[in-house]
């Protein structure tokens, strides 16, 4: 799935306040539950925590891509956050995370899950894209720059 198909203006949040990895995951869970009727915030939070127990989704360079498959979810859903302050995410390079692209995928869409993760990682591995996203000052700006870069 193309990032431009996944991301919407309502699914971007600039300067999200969070003080820890768990608070980021709580924020993502409640945010996505408000924007997708098929998502239960508590079930999503538990699924994201379980995924983090397998290994951090902090991929380095201040980026995290928390993701999971969720029973009952009827479509791939994502959110892009720029955090107000970087947080420790147990990333592979030990750099605190300030850009988070969270992804929730229906249980049966394994191939789509992997393809979408790969597209997100490819987008965010570009240093210029990361720099542009970090300079954003509004939700709208964050959305426009992310989609334009995809």
pLDDT at position 1: 54
* CATH architecture assignment, domain 3-149: 3-Layer(aba) Sandwich (3.40)
**Angle in degrees, CA 134, 119, 5, rounded to 5:** 85
pLDDT score at 109: 64
Region at 123 (left for phi over 0; alpha for psi -120 to 50; beta for the rest): alpha
**Which of these, 113, 93, 97, lies nearest to 105 by C-alpha position?**
113
Q: In whole angstroms, what is the distance from residue 38 CA to residue 32 CA?
A: 10
104 pairs with which residues across the strands? 68, 77
Do 52 and 27 touch, CB atoms closer than 8 A?
no
Cα 44 vs. chain centroid, distance in angstroms? 13
Residue 85 pLDDT = 96
The answer to whether 19 and 87 are in contact (CB under 8 A) is: yes
- The reported pTM is 0.92
- pLDDT of the residue at 111: 67
Give me the pLDDT at residue 74, please. 78
Q: Determine how many CB atoms are found less than 10 A away from the CB of residue 111.
A: 8
Task: Name the residue among 17, 23, 45 with its Cα closest to residue 32.
Answer: 45
Residue 43's pLDDT is what? Answer: 93
Q: Is 88 helix (H, G, I), strand (E, B) or coil?
A: coil
Verify whether residue 35 is a known catalytic residue.
no
Residues listed for the chain = 150
Position 106 scores a pLDDT of: 83
Single out the catalytic residue among 67, 82, 130, 145. Answer: 67
Q: Mean pLDDT in each 10-residue stretch from start to end of the chain (150 residues)?
A: 80 94 96 84 94 95 93 85 96 96 81 78 92 96 92
Residue 7, helix vs strand vs coil:
coil
């Amino acid at each position: 799935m193309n990032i431009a198909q996944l991301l919407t203006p309502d699914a971007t949040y600039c300067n999200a306040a969070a003080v820890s990895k768990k608070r980021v995951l709580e924020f993502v869970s409640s945010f996505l539950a408000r924007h997708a009727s098929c998502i239960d915030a508590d079930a999503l939070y538990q699924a994201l925590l379980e995924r983090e127990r397998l290994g951090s989704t902090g991929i380095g360079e201040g980026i995290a891509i928390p993701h999971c498959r969720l029973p009952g979810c009827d479509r791939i859903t994502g959110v892009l956050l720029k955090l107000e302050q970087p947080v420790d995410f147990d990333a592979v390079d030990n750099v605190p995370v300030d850009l988070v692209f969270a992804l929730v995928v229906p249980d049966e869409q394994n191939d789509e899950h992997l393809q979408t993760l790969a597209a997100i990682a490819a987008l965010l591995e570009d240093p210029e894209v990361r720099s542009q996203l970090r300079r954003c000052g509004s939700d709208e700006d964050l959305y426009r720059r992310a989609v334009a870069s995809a």
